[in-house]
Amino acid sequence: MLPSHPTRRAPALCALFAFAAPLLLAQAPFYLKDGDRVVFYGDSITDQRLYTTFTESYVLTRFPTLNVAFTHSGWGGDSVSGGGGGPIDLRLSRDVFPYHPTVVTIMLGMNDGRYRAFDQTIFNTYKNGFEHILDSLHANAPNARITLIQPSPYDDVTRPPTFEGGYNAVLLRYSDYLKSLAQTRHLDLADLNNPVTAMLRQAAATNKDDAQKILPDRVHPAAAGHLIMAAALLDAWHAPALVSEVALDVKGAAPQTKNAKVQAFRADSPTISWTTTESALPLPIDPRDKLMDLAVKSSGIVDQLDRETLRVTGLTAAKYDLKIDGEPVGSFPAADFAKGINLATLVTPMLKQALEVHALTLKHNNIHFFSWRSIQTGLATDASPATKQAAMAELDKLDNELVAEQRAAAQPRAHHFELVPVQ
């Protein structure tokens, strides 16, 4: 039975749905599952192994017990028909299917538009080629979950376009097609263009010279640009922002925590101390990289993916030095601790641990890359198959050892915290 006054109830229902929708989105589980095997496929931007390795390191540091394997299969110059690594069917049969992926990401388009104004014939080639890739994936990896990646931007922000409208506008038309394709085929979608473009605009308003260095050749991002791209992919995968949350009360209330455990809390002397074991680590953002700092400050990545909150109430001094494992981290007014400080933005032992994990991510990916590009494909017509297989087996062994070291480095560690009153 319809309500007697539907127009009076509609605003309340709209308000309810408006309130509930963000909660439902926030509760969406992370896309990757235990046992997943991820293959990143694409052109030279994927071949840089930067947005992909940032994504891998995020998963390792945020979910240290999750068992996920990553393979990076980008090749410079690739298009929907293939490229330097061979025609598309060879690329897929050699560089994707043997890894039995449960998740495949595809980012193609930068080369496909041919760096000119939109051309319908060129676009039709892209459209037909992309759909051929999907047909082949469905036939050979039918259970794989596929994320279509809308092409990362051509930098028409920090430099004037090379023709009217600019090349990035062409890539956005390709992106619109991928959005429609994802809806039609019920695939997942990640936008790596608009978030980077928005960051570039903000960065250029702050420091145009440095902003130009984020995409130095207008196509291939520096690590700072790839970090924002990784954040966009992770956002599409419902990645949580929470690293940890710790709330302490000097006056005696029990510690309140999320994704962390607090032990040995003492507030019976001027120096307040405790031990925290967090279940995750912050993003591995190198504090020495000024382009990274510019990109972070010009984007919403901290709120989006990097919340490691420490809140302490009831402090009696005006200001306190924060030390972790005996190392000075910073000095903050008591009011800042009461509101909460984000440890992820500071140089802490936890950040150093995350950077350690990321360094191992890069190392093990370099081993796989050498095996794939220098032996499997680089010596495809040279040396004996048995010798090549033996060499690749040894490199796989080394890769596995580095992955084990990487996973061990990501495991939670206890850290001793001190708040010392500033005299």
> Residues 350, 391: one domain?
yes
> Residues 351, 210: one domain?
no
What are residue 312's DSSP bridge partners? 248
**Phi, psi (deg, nearest 5) at residue 142:** -65, -20
Q: What is the pLDDT of residues 241-272, one digit of tens each?
A: 999 999 999 998 899 999 999 999 999 999 99
Let me know if residue 148 belongs to a domain: yes
| Residues 6 or more apart whose Cβ sits within 8 Å of residue 365 | 49, 52, 53, 56, 70, 72
> Residues 69, 86: one domain?
yes
Query: Rounded mean pLDDT of 335-349?
Result: 98
Q: How many angstroms separate the CA atoms of 357 and 397, rounded?
A: 19
> Residues 75, 112: one domain?
yes
Let me know if residue 169 belongs to a domain: yes
Let me know if residue 209 belongs to a domain: yes
Domain boundary residue, one of 184, 217, 236: 236
288 in Cβ contact with 296 (< 8 Å): no
> Residues 61, 204: one domain?
yes
Give 173-178 contacts, CB < 8 A, sequence gap 24+: 173/118, 173/123, 174/109, 174/112, 174/113, 174/123, 174/126, 174/150, 175/109, 175/150, 175/151, 177/123, 177/126, 177/127, 178/109, 178/130, 178/148, 178/149, 178/150
> Residues 265, 397: one domain?
yes
Alpha helices in 155-217 (DSSP H): 167-185, 194-206, 208-214
Give the model's confidence band at 89: pLDDT under 50 very low, under 70 low, under 90 confident, else very high: very high
Q: What is the pLDDT of residues 151-181, one digit of tens each?
A: 999 999 999 999 999 999 999 999 999 999 9
> Residues 364, 231: one domain?
no
Let me know if residue 15 belongs to a domain: no
Query: Rounded mean pLDDT of 349-363?
Result: 98
Burial 254-263 (b: 16+ CB within 10 A, else e): eeebebbebe
Domain boundary residue, one of 219, 236, 253: 236
Share of the chain above pLDDT 90, in %: 91
52 in Cβ contact with 72 (< 8 Å): yes
| Residues 6 or more apart whose Cβ sits within 8 Å of residue 35 | 67, 68, 102
Both tokens of 231, joined, read 């954040």
Domain CATH number, residue 105:
3.40.50.1110
Q: What is the pLDDT of residues 131-143, one digit of tens each?
A: 999 999 999 999 9
Give the model's confidence band at 21: pLDDT under 50 very low, under 70 low, under 90 confident, else very high: very low
Per-residue pLDDT at 1: 30
> Residues 375, 328: one domain?
yes
Give the model's confidence band at 28: pLDDT under 50 very low, under 70 low, under 90 confident, else very high: confident
Let me know if residue 133 belongs to a domain: yes
> Residues 194, 159: one domain?
yes
Give the model's confidence band at 60: pLDDT under 50 very low, under 70 low, under 90 confident, else very high: very high
Give the model's confidence band at 328: pLDDT under 50 very low, under 70 low, under 90 confident, else very high: very high
The domain total for the chain is 2
Domain boundary residue, one of 220, 236, 252: 236
> Residues 86, 203: one domain?
yes
Let me know if residue 5 belongs to a domain: no
Q: How many angstroms separate the CA atoms of 113 and 232, rounded?
A: 22
Let me know if residue 8 belongs to a domain: no
Mean pLDDT rounded to a whole number for the chain: 94
| Residues 6 or more apart whose Cβ sits within 8 Å of residue 105 | 38, 39, 40, 41, 42, 146, 147, 148, 149, 190, 233
Let me know if residue 144 belongs to a domain: yes
Per-residue pLDDT at 24: 43
Q: What is the pLDDT of residues 286-326, one digit of tens each?
A: 999 999 999 999 999 999 999 999 999 999 999 999 999 99
Lowest mean pLDDT among 74-88, 90-104, 380-394: 380-394
The domain of 282 spans 243-423
